[in-house]
Structure 1
Amino acid sequence: MNYYYDFHIHSALSPCAEEEMTPNNIVNMALVNGLDMIAVTDHNSAKNLRALWQCAADKPLLLVPGIEVESLEEVHVSCLFPRVEEAEEMGRFVGEHLPAMKNKEEIFGPQYIFDEEDHLVGKEEQLLLVSTDLTVETIFSAALDLSGCAYFSHVDRDSYSILSALGTLPPSIETSVVEVSDTPWGRQFARQRKDLAEKRFLYSSDCHRLADMSQKKNCIDLPEITTRSVINWIKDMR
Structure 2
Amino acid sequence: MTECSGLVAYCNNLLDCSAFQDYCPNGLQVEGRPSVSRIVTGVTASQALIDAAVAQGADLLLVHHGYFWRGEAAPITGLKQRRIRALLEHGINLVAYHLPLDVHAKLGNNVQLAQRLGWNITGGLEPNNPRSVGLQGELSEALSGEELAQQLNLALGREPLFISGHGRPVKRIAWCTGAAQGYIDKAVALGVDAFITGEVSEQTIHIARECGINFYAAGHHATERYGVQALGEHLVEQFGVEHRFIDIDNPV
* TM-score of the pair, normalised by structure 1: 0.31
Larger radius of gyration: 2
Bigger share in helix: 2
* TM-score of the pair, normalised by structure 2: 0.30
Which structure ranks higher in relative contact order (CA pairs < 8 Å, sequence separation ≥ 6)? Answer: 1
